Structure 1
Amino acid sequence: MTPLPALPPGRLLLRPLPGCWWMAGGLGAFCPLLGPDGALRLYVGGRDAGGRTHIGRLDFDGPPEPGRAPALRGLLGPLLSLGAPGCFDADGTGYPWLVEAGGEMRMYYVGWQRLAGAVPFRNQIGLAVSRDGGDSFFRFSRAPLLAASDAEPIGHGSCAVQRQPAGGWRMLYTSFLEWAEAPEGGLRHRYQLHTAWSPDGLDWQRGGEVAVPLADDSEYALGAPAPWGGGDAPERLFFTARGDRYRLFLGTAETPGRFRRHPGPVEIPAGDWDDAMQCYPRILRAGGEDFLFYAGNGYGRTGIGFLPLPRGWGA
């Protein structure tokens, strides 16, 4: 595995906007895209004052550049808010992943419910669709996209969905393994990254394929998969792992559905907004450059930043 070259510090792109009710409590996971005009669009989960989450869109005045963070010029949303009472996304929507498909834009997302008792919440994956270029979305179904099974009975989280060059679709997703006793008391979730396959991106087959396993007993959470590349070079995967704190890691594909992680975390010189947490990676190509976006402290409550990846990083 070729090691990742030294990276520059992340440049802060955006802090939460206290005057916007659906992100007054902070930002969360997001998905960057380039709009029809080539400018950056950020589909992002925001937290309201009650801790519920909603997905909206932030529009910037241009693409990211190695020496410049584009300025925010407008916001739209929320585009996907709370589901109906009792539904899987009744208390929030977040972790958007967007894919164009047949003239539509699909938004795969995570819905969650608050639970009473020792287990505080349940996450499941849903799908919303846009037919106007991503300006508005409707739910594909009020039910989650991945049904519970005996092998995966607890829930599913952040995902990355892609069409495959040879046909069909692949999903890399967070699969909850259990709620286990935590060292400090109470229950703590354990989850890792799994792989699912589909002919159409709607009906998914899950055979228990593990994309990235937990490293050891000190690690208990893997999420936010961000695949990139392939073709002549091996596919790479950024993801978030949590032991003592959330950090970014990189893996290289061994097969189309399984990745081997590189030793140690991705080293990004930290600032005052990302010194305690670097999480939720996403990759965007703009102007011939690859950019790594990620969220900072408090799962993004302090903001979202980006940095240019060195040329040839994925070779």
Structure 2
Amino acid sequence: MQWIKKGLLFCPDGKSTWNQRGYAHVVCADTSFEDKIRLYYSARDNQGRCQASFFDLDSNNLSKVIYVHPEPILDLGVPGTFDDCGIMPTWFMQNGEEKWLYYIGWTVRNTIPYHNALGLATSLDGVHFTKKFTGPIISTSATEPYFNGSACFLFDQGKYKVWYLNCTHWVEDEGLMEPCYHIKYAESLDGIQWERKGQVAIDYRDSVEGGISRPSVIVENGIYKMWFSARAITDYRTNRDRSYRIYYAESTDGINWNRFDEQVGIDVSENPTDWDYGMIEYPLVINHQGNKIMFYNGNHFGQTGVGYAVME
């Protein structure tokens, strides 16, 4: 496969307190509208906390932003809850009349920089969202003691399926604690209560790889196809050679996967001034008007915004 980059789409203007640091992290798409695609994302406020909002693209001209929502769509959690320090959308699902937005909640810790868990918010109009629960729907457990993050949720073969980031351990790198995580798989009858058996979908490729994140899965002709991003364990924040890249895998059952990293067909830009020169990460792949579209983030984990590419 080969992806043709179409350029940068959107980055917050930084004029409001909730998006002063920019970023357009980890977009997820509502494609239920006839005339537009709605992309949910998170920006960062002046304290570095993620805040969720959305913008709309012209369905017939994806390079055209036709609306930018001016405020966050969800409040941060009350002190002590799993999302009191940040909210980051990770997957959108149309569930009957309701629009479900799965999101990552952020809170801070003492011995490590942060902790994540997955929550759920719902809406009827795609603008006004309400948290379904005060607490998370996927969090730490007896066998998953660290944290869970970016995820892909699908309703497939009569059940809900999720591929989710699962932290396996933390390592210290020059005084900074860095998390290592891979992708696990679980199932549910209602999209809320999950049967987690510890099934690893995408594991570390080698001893260098340490962060596998943001799976995006589609099913075509009985084949599960996943795009995801991965980085090195350490020295990935500013070292371009160890930073995030996008990769690809396939499966016949959604559980056991084969990686085809060399086939992904997209890489960082070669122009040092480009928005995606340092890293590319957090892909979202959708089918749209007969084409495959990939939305993805660029430098510094999405601080430069979100762009897109079309499969050749």
Counterpart selection for 1:263 from 247, 261, 264: 261
Tell me, yes or no, if structure 1 residue 55 matches structure 2 residue 52.
yes
Counterpart residue number, 1:179: 170
Question: What is the correspondence of 1:222-237 to structure 2 with a 5 Å cutoff?
Answer: 222-230=212-220, 232-237=221-226
Q: Deviations over 1:261-306 (max 9, x none)?
A: 1134643361510010101100122222111110110111111100
C-alpha contact 1:240 1:247 (8 A) present in aligned 2: yes
Aligned with 2:257: secondary structure? strand
User: How many Å apart are 1:254 and its aligned residue?
Assistant: 4.0
1:234 maps to a residue whose letter is I
Query: In the aligned structure 2, how far is the partner of 1:87 from the partner of 1:73?
Result: 32
Alignment CA distance shift 1:33-1:64 (3 Å): farther
Conservation of the 8 A alpha-carbon contact between 1:16 and 1:301: no
CA deviation vs aligned residue, 1:68-104 (integer Å, no higher than 9, x gap): 6113433153112311111000000003311011211
Q: SS of the counterpart of 1:256?
A: coil
> What are structure 2's unaligned runs of at least 5 residues?
233-241
Per the alignment, residue 41 of structure 2 pairs with 44
Structure 1 partner of 2:246: 248
Shift of the 36–186 alpha-carbon distance from structure 1 to 2, 3 Å rule, reads closer
Does residue 118 of structure 2 align to residue 121 of structure 1? no
Do the aligned partners of residues 196 and 304 (structure 1) sit closer, same or farther apart at CA in structure 2, a change above 3 Å counting? same
Question: Do the aligned partners of 2:51 and 2:86 also contact (CA within 8 Å) in 1?
Answer: yes
Q: Alpha carbons of 1:299 and 1:32: their partners in 2 closer, same or farther (altered >3 Å)? A: same
Report if the CA contact (8 A) 1:58-1:76 is conserved.
no
Q: Report how many aligned residue pairs link the two structures.
A: 298
Instruction: Compute the displacement of 1:10 (Å).
Output: 4.1
CA gap of 1:15–1:138, structure 2 versus 1, over 3 A, is same
Q: 1:135 deviation in Å?
A: 1.2
Q: 1:9 deviation in Å?
A: 2.9
Aligned pair 1:238/2:227, yes or no? yes
Q: 1:262 to 1:163 in 2, by over 3 A?
A: same
- Structure 1 residue 234: deviation in Å? 1.6
Instruction: Indicate the larger mover: 270-279 or 258-267.
Output: 258-267
Query: In the aligned structure 2, how far is the partner of 1:49 from the partner of 1:101?
Result: 34
Report the aligned-residue RMSD: 1.7
1:105 to 99, 106, 111: 99
What's 2:283 paired with?
281
Asked whether the 8 Å contact 2:225–2:251 carries over to 1, the reply is yes
- Aligned 8 A contact 1:172 1:193 in 2: yes
Gaps in structure 1 of 5+ consecutive residues = 311-315
CA offset digits 1:223-243 (Å, max 9, x no partner): 10000133x252210001011
Residue aligning to 1:212: 202
SS for the counterpart of 1:77 is coil
Corresponding residue to 1:141 among 133, 146, 167? 133
Give, in whole Å, the separation in 1 of the partners of 2:91 and 2:179.
23
> How far, CA to CA, are the matches of 1:215 and 1:64 in structure 2?
39
Find the aligned partners of 1:63 and 1:83 in 2 and give their Cα distance: 33
* 4+ residue runs over 3 A deviation: 263-266
Write the distance in 1 (CA, Å) between the matches of 2:177 and 2:113: 9
Give, in whole Å, the separation in 2 of the partners of 1:103 and 1:250: 33
Partner SS, residue 187 of structure 1:
strand
Q: Give 3-state SS (helix, strand or coil) of 2:284's partner.
A: strand
Distance 1:25 1:101, change over 3 A: same
**Quick one: distance in 2 between partners of 1:220 and 1:10?**
29
CA contact (8 A) 1:14 1:304 kept: yes
Which residue number in structure 2 is paired with residue 153 of structure 1? 145
**One-letter amino acid matched to 2:128:** S
1:165-185 Cα distance to aligned partner (Å, 9 max, x none): x21100100001111233x34
- Name the amino acid aligned to 2:300: G
Cα distance, 1:74–1:287 mapped onto 2, change above 3 Å: same
Q: 2:84 aligned with 1:82, yes or no?
A: no
What CA distance in whole angstroms lies between the structure 1 residues aligned with 2:231 and 2:265? 13
Contact 1:254 1:260 in 2 (8 A): no
Once the two structures are TM-superposed, the CA of residue 195 in structure 1 deviates from its matched residue by 0.3
Identity %: 28
Q: Which moved more, 1:89-98 or 1:11-20?
A: 11-20
Please state whether the residue corresponding to 2:300 is helix, strand or coil: helix
